[in-house]
Amino acid sequence: MVIAFIVIVGIMEKKNVFEIFLSGVVDGQKIVINLFPTLLALLVAVGMLNSSGIIDFLSNYIKVFFEYEEIVPLILLKPISGSSSIAVATNIMTKHGVDTEIGLIASIIMGSTETTIYVVSIYTSKLKVKNIKPVIIIGLIGDAICVTCAIIAFKIGLF
């Protein structure tokens, strides 16, 4: 309905809707071509992290600080890769159930945190920003606050 509405308004305003659409496609193509090296680098980096076992290695050392050690890989992967974190969250929910405490915590983490490193990399590469360290730090602090609040919410009985 939205597309039909846009086409009807364009026709009513006597604009060449198809030509406007094509110019948008060309602009989109330029953006994709400019972002491709960054996307490729991120995909390779995520693949290397998953294949090397570094996430498992870090999880083994960090899980002593968490009561719910199954969420540690989710916490580590979410800022880097949305698809990898979806796989981890799905495994948590399949193993423990979606209505369990850990399943609900995983759901809150998935909904409230961001793929910080991925998003910052894409936006800053498009804008050609060189100093991304402060932005990543602030984003990761926000993610840490979301994870902490999710766990605290269950500890004090909000859910």
Taking residues 134-145, what's their average pLDDT?
93
pTM equals 0.67
Please name which of 140, 118, 137 lies closest in space to residue 35, comparing C-alpha atoms: 118
- By C-alpha distance, which of 25, 26, 6 is closest to 17? 6
Question: pLDDT, tens digit, for every residue of 5-46?
Answer: 988 998 999 999 899 989 998 998 888 888 788 778 877 877
CA-based end-to-end distance of the chain: 38
Mind giving me the DSSP string for 43-64? HHHHHHHHHHTHHHHHHHHHGG
Show me where the domains of the chain are located: 2-155
- What is the reported pLDDT for 144? 92
pLDDT band (50, 70, 90) for residue 64: low
